[in-house]
A and B are shown apart, each in its own frame.
Chain A
């Protein structure tokens, strides 16, 4: 689509829900009449002219100008959906086609006088209606409103993608924190800081109290924008509050960067590698000091290690199966087996257990928690032994060391540890990830499947 054709091509869904580009002949004619002679029209100037026409032109021109802008907005809405799909769709199991119906609902018709018979105001019309040129460019404005669309946010939240509203961010910010952000992060004059703190205070007084009342009445979900009545009680305007929230949001993004990175489970292939991805994801973080002298510890442990791991795994799996409700227990076991014993990807596992998205599988298995539970069980079982070795009291730091050492031992390749078994020529099943952890787990799952009485 050429850059200017966005002003007469309306992107909409047809009756079967498929995306269609529908050329608006009236809009095209009008646009070419207005701007035909210009080679490279500047977007901002174009939009400003169309806005003026839409508000002050004669009847027909008003409608055509509005239609041009609605076409343009439809292309922007589509772009937001595409970008969301590209960034989150795979791991969170949704496609742009699922997002379109939520926000791409303009049919290009006009209310009244033989126009549309739809009963709602389209997202595009709403965006256009609320736009003022002091709000930046129409593109920025559109992206902002689409990103914060309630239906879209609700859908994304259910898929595990969250966007906090401006109002939640303001609710969560204390005056002293605001003062620090505006002093250190985005310096403002002392008078401006004072004014912002006062503004936040009056917002809190009104909005928080009303939110509590609404919650008591059963309100759910995102914090709605303040009503005109609330704004009057706060003695402020929506855009002042939004600007304040924007600054705080920028600060949050900056302080989040580097922390809690989103790990895509499928980002690294786990085939043919020494460590399974599950192993890597679940390895203790580098918060603890390097384990000291793991050799002596492991040598001393070797006798008990295998049987303790076996017992710990059995106990943790048993507890999981007991606490998972309904089909979840079976799904959990299947997912565990597919991941650890067959090296399947999270996407494939999702399909196999009838879940939509990878993140739902991640939630079901919670591999990190699973491994933590197993390691801690092992430490607990070996506690008597550990006490004799390291003295009477076990400090948290010492425990962290043991934990890290056990993790290393769990990741040891099976060939290193079980040469004796191989020599007996009982060639074991060809497990894809050959770590001590996954091998022992897979043997346990095999036993569970074979036994007539499952652990449950």
Chain B
């Protein structure tokens, strides 16, 4: 009689508690229906991984880098990406995520999720340098980013290597993609000019010195929308309307549109106002975040806290004309979108 379909539970599998399961269910509820199941499994994997970390390396510093279910962690100086492993034979690693500093990790950890038995098992690990050293078959399917298919046989099968690396290795020995700091010269906007990068990114320049206006219309142009927002902001803005220039970009993520208004203040300083809205004028999704950083220091951070409450987020600052600002948009699912730096001078 063939009983090969029965398997013995590995002794280091993790039993999920009902609290962990409910947390994952709660989290997945806000996801679109098409990805709700996979978000649920990812959240289960993350909860199980967290429990495993607490059990095996309780003394090491552990921090979730993004929200639940995106699986990016910082552990003792390492960036660690967990990957839900549905199959018994391979994991899928999104190709683009490996190249971008904000999504790349030192270590990729395969986590088997058995939803039916509420169990999770850490099943293997592969390093970033080991992944990019080889050509893997690619998974290309509609609505999904292209991914490498990495056979589990190519992973370190035990947790020994993962723990050993986390506990004793030096993160610097695993090279990570270097951030390419792109800069846009927005000072030129005052001369009604876009530089090459802004042009390539399809920024659209608007007429200079847009005046705030309460005028509403059914199908507002970007100019009308911006002047209306400026009107609403009123005294809260730092910009002086007579020496400004504005441009906008329709972002390749989530139907979002970013308006930027800059202005010179005297000979030394400049003002920078970033407004994040939607292309249709609809309300922003809850948990969307907008932040401005300068020299790696976060200056402003705004979040949509209540659903359907806001149609835009804004952040503004003033700096020396030698200073440049970085805008980061964090999507509700935790993905970060970094824009090139905004510099006043070339």
Contact = CB atoms under 8 A, between A and B. Distances in A.
Given A208-B37, A212-B25, A399 B9 contact: no
A323 B174 contact: no
Contacts of B218: none
B58 A323 contact: yes
Interface in A213-228: 215-216, 218, 220-223
Interface stretch (B157-165, B250-258, B269-277): B157-165
Nearest to B165: A396
B315 interface: no
Given A376-B167, A393-B172, A215 B21 contact: yes
B33 interface: yes
The secondary-structure label for the interface of chain B is: mixed
Nearest to A264: B8
Contacts of A175: 141
A252 interface: yes
A109 B57 CA distance: 59
B234 to A, nearest CB: 45
Contact of A164 (B1, B18, B33, B116): B116
Interface in A138-161: 143, 147, 156-157, 160-161
Contacts of B152: 259
Interface residues of A, number: 73
B55 interface: yes
A84 interface: yes
Contacts of A147: 3, 5-6
A394 B164 contact: no
A403 B160 contact: yes
Given A253-B5, A256-B88, A209 B161 contact: no
Given A175-B141, A376-B164, A393-B170, A222 B116 contact: yes
B37 A171 contact: yes
A393 B127 CA distance: 16
A161 B11 contact: no
A137 to B, nearest CB: 13
Contact of B8 (A83, A161, A383): A161
Main secondary structure of the interface of A (DSSP, over half): helix
B174 A396 contact: yes
The residue among A165, A216, A284, A376 with the most chain B CB atoms within 10 A of its own CB is A376
Contact of B115 (A88, A168, A366): A168
Contacts of B139: 176
A172 B88 CA distance: 10
Interface in B132-159: 139, 141, 152-153, 156-159
Interface string B220-233: 00000000000000
B56 interface: yes
Nearest to A169: B116
B1 A143 contact: yes
Interface in B1-27: 1, 3-12, 18, 21-22, 25
A250 to B, nearest CB: 9
Nearest to B121: A260
Contact of B173 (A168, A223, A288, A394): A394
A204 B37 contact: yes
A380 interface: yes
A394 B169 contact: yes
B102 interface: no
20 contacts: A162-B7, A171-B37, A209-B33, A216-B25, A249-B5, A253-B5, A255-B88, A256-B7, A256-B88, A259-B152, A260-B10, A262-B7, A287-B161, A359-B8, A368-B158, A379-B167, A396-B127, A396-B161, A399-B165, A403-B160
Interface of B: 1, 3-12, 18, 21-22, 25, 28, 33, 36-37, 40, 55-56, 58, 86-89, 114-118, 127, 139, 141, 152-153, 156-161, 163-165, 167-170, 172-174
Interface of A: 79-80, 83-84, 87-88, 91-92, 143, 147, 156-157, 160-165, 167-168, 171-177, 204, 208-209, 211-212, 215-216, 218, 220-223, 249, 252-253, 255-256, 259-260, 262, 284-285, 287-288, 319, 323, 359, 362-363, 366, 368-369, 372-373, 375-376, 379-380, 383, 393-396, 399-400, 403
